[in-house]
Chains A and B, each alone.
Chain A
Amino acid sequence: MENKMKLEFLSKSVNESFARAAVAAFVSQLDPTLEELADIKTAVSEAVTNAIVHGYGHTEGIVTVSCRLEGQLVTVIIEDKGKGIENVALATQPLYTQSTDRERSGMGFTVMETFMDSMTVESSPEKGTVVTLTKEIGISS
Chain B
Amino acid sequence: MQIALKLNQRTLIVSLGGELDHHGAEQIRTVIERAITERDVKNLIFDFSNLSFMDSSGIGMIIGRYKLIHSLGGSVALVCTSDRMKKLVTMSGLTRLIAVYQSVEQALTEVKGA
B26: nearest residue on chain A (CB-CB)? A13
B25 touches A103 (CB 8 A): yes
> With a CB–CB cut-off of 8 A, which chain B residues contact A103?
25, 29, 60-61, 63-64
User: In the docked arrangement, what's the CA distance between A61 and B3, Å?
Assistant: 30
Interface size range of chain B in the complex: 20 to 34
Interface window among B71-79, B84-92, B99-107: B84-92
- Any B CB within 8 A of the CB of A81: no
Shortest CB distance B19–A (Å): 6
Interface window among A41-49, A63-71, A124-132: A41-49
- Any B CB within 8 A of the CB of A107: yes
Interface size range of chain A in the complex: 20 to 34
Interface window among A25-33, A84-92, A108-116: A108-116
With A17-B21, A105-B92 in contact, is A41–B53 under 8 Å at CB? yes
> With a CB–CB cut-off of 8 A, which chain B residues contact A46?
55-56
A16 touches B56 (CB 8 A): no
Point out residues on A near B: beta carbons under 8 Å. Answer: 13-14, 16-17, 20, 35, 38, 41-42, 45-46, 49, 52-53, 95, 102-105, 107-108, 110-111, 114
